[in-house]
């Protein structure tokens, strides 16, 4: 009796083991595929990127609604910076937000920034430049916040801290460096998928223009601006918020 059962049991165990291994491999492949599809990573690779700042001049940038750049935007030590040391009032006397000449649709933007103590600025994208219709760049373009989290009052407001998608999504973590130190920021916008990186960490990941996006905008300060966050192609802007701020190594890759 035992001699007759043993071969049958052994065969059954072999079939079960084979099926288990097959199922395990299938599940493993599914998980790996999903992870590689959803994972967005920051890299040091600059292949295919073009520079938006030559490190010596303000060429390629202009003030919003103008053909020239404000005199308070200057270049020193390889950085493009806003000099507010003798500035009276916000966005006056040669300041103001500055923009790229070209519009971008699907892109990967990289740059380094540092902010003065208690300072505030931002990186704004998908800006539709029409100063007759929109008074400021942020009437249309979403912003990655640039801030001294340790000194500026905005740091007390959720979704207003460094790395946040301003007034829409808080950063998942805060790898920001203190005022006066360089931070590396990246914005990747590709067919509605938006990822923000700060110092190599993916701090915001969302989808633009879907129902959830529209709901977020409707619950934000931008609800008063009907065209905010609706443009799928636009210019990159560096913000004048009245404080000293520096940018360098500005480059972009069209996707």
| CB distance 185 to 145 below 8 Å | no
In whole angstroms, what is the distance from residue 135 CA to residue 195 CA?
A: 27
In whole angstroms, what is the distance from residue 114 CA to residue 146 CA?
A: 8
In whole angstroms, what is the distance from residue 236 CA to residue 234 CA?
A: 7
List per-residue pLDDT tens for the chain, 255 residues long. Answer: 333 444 443 444 444 444 443 343 333 333 333 233 344 567 788 899 999 999 999 999 999 999 999 999 999 999 999 999 876 655 556 899 999 999 999 999 999 999 999 999 999 999 999 999 999 999 999 999 999 999 999 999 999 999 999 999 999 999 999 999 999 999 999 999 999 999 999 999 999 999 999 999 999 999 999 999 999 999 999 999 999 999 999 999 999
pTM value is 0.83
| CB distance 107 to 214 below 8 Å | no
Give me 93's structure tokens: 């006397």
Q: 50-254 architecture in CATH?
A: Sandwich (2.60)
Domain boundaries, the chain: 1-35, 50-254
Q: At 76, which helix (H) or strand (E)?
A: strand 73-76
């Amino acid at each position: 009796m035992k001699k007759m059962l043993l071969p049958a049991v052994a065969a059954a165990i072999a079939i079960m083991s084979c099926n288990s291994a097959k199922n395990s491999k299938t599940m493993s492949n599914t998980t790996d595929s999903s992870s590689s599809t959803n994972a967005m990573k920051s890299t040091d690779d600059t292949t295919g990127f073009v520079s938006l700042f030559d490190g010596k001049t303000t060429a390629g940038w202009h003030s919003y609604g103008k053909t020239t750049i404000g005199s308070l935007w200057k270049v020193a030590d390889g950085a493009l910076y806003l000099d507010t040391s003798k500035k009276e009032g916000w966005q006056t006397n040669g300041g103001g937000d500055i923009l790229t000449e070209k519009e971008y649709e699907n892109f990967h933007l990289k740059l380094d920034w540092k902010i003065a103590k208690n300072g505030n600025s931002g990186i704004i994208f998908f800006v539709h430049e029409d100063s007759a219709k929109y008074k400021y760049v942020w009437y249309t373009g979403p912003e990655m916040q640039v801030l001294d989290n340790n000194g500026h009052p905005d740091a007390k407001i959720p979704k207003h801290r460094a790395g946040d998608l301003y007034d829409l999504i808080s950063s998942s973590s805060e790898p920001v460096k203190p005022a006066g130190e360089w931070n590396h920021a990246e914005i990747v916008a590709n067919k509605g998928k938006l990822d923000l990186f700060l110092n190599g960490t993916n701090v915001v990941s969302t989808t633009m223009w879907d129902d959830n996006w529209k709901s977020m905008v409707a619950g934000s300060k931008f609800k008063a601006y009907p065209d905010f966050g609706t443009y799928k192609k636009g210019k990159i802007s560096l913000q004048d918020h009245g404080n000293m701020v520096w940018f360098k190594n500005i480059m972009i890759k069209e996707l």
